[in-house]
Amino acid sequence: MTGVPFAILRHAPTAWNESRRLQGMTDIPLSAEGEALAARWRLPAPASGWKRLCSPLQRARRTAELLQPAAPVTIEPRLREMSFGAWEGRTILDLRETVGVVFLDAERRGLDFQPPDGESPRATMARLLDWASEIAAAGEAVVAVSHKAAIRALLALATGWDMTGRQPVKLDWQSLHYFIAHCDGSVTVDRPNVALA
């Protein structure tokens, strides 16, 4: 089955990543360490020559701008992070302790996990499928900077993982992940965990 390749990576770290807080749609900038790390990242071939896209959130935009080799960056709203709604700014540990059974029940729902006023992985997966279908139709390979929950939803889309139990492929969040967008509307994993030089 032929298709169009694309690559995706998570933005560099923020202060909220360091404190393990759910960021979601909260527009947190890169930390000083994140800026320095992103400035050292170099896209490997062939992604180094592909069109560059990113989420509209500043942590992803800044990462895309700092990546080498330098290239123009186009904002793609469908690459935004999954919204964690009322739970943004909280840690998983805090939510398990304070929200208790409500949070634990939500976690067990896998693709249908949905924070209050937030978005489910299934909804995130649907918008990423729409985006990947456009890539397949256009026939142009791209490299994208996005977010952890969004990339996990993409992995679920590509593998059939229902987001319960372990992920079928362990992703390194400081690596590039290659996928294939197919004309039949499917997405497959190509090469995960490719080092950023």
- 22-67, pLDDT tens digit by residue? 999 999 999 999 999 999 999 999 999 999 999 999 999 999 999 9
Supply the CATH number for residue 161's domain: 3.40.50.1240
Please tell me the distance from the alpha carbon of residue 130 to that of residue 133, in angstroms, as a whole number.
5
pLDDT of residue 107: 87
pLDDT of residue 179: 98
Q: How confident is the model at residue 102 (pLDDT cuts 50, 70, 90)?
A: confident
Residue that wins the pLDDT comparison between 27 and 184:
27
Range(s) of the domain holding residue 165 = 3-195
Is there a catalytic annotation at residue 81? yes
Is pLDDT of 117 > 70? yes
Residue of 11, 76, 88, 119 marked active site: 11
Average pLDDT, the chain: 96
Please tell me the distance from the alpha carbon of residue 77 to that of residue 2, in angstroms, as a whole number.
26
Is pLDDT of 1 > 60? no
Is pLDDT of 134 > 80? yes
Cis peptide before 69 (omega within 30 of 0): yes
- Look at the chain and report how many structural domains it folds into: 1
Which residues fall within 8 angstroms of residue 38, CB to CB, at 6 or more apart? 11, 12, 30, 62, 63, 66, 67
Please tell me the distance from the alpha carbon of residue 129 to that of residue 123, in angstroms, as a whole number.
10
CA angle 112, 117, 122 (to 5 degrees): 25
Angle between helices 121-138 and 148-159 (to 10 degrees): 70
pLDDT of residue 67: 97
Is there a catalytic annotation at residue 18? no
Q: Is 8 exposed, middle or buried (0-12, 13-18, 19+ CB in 10 A)?
A: buried
Residue of 18, 33, 76, 81 marked active site: 81
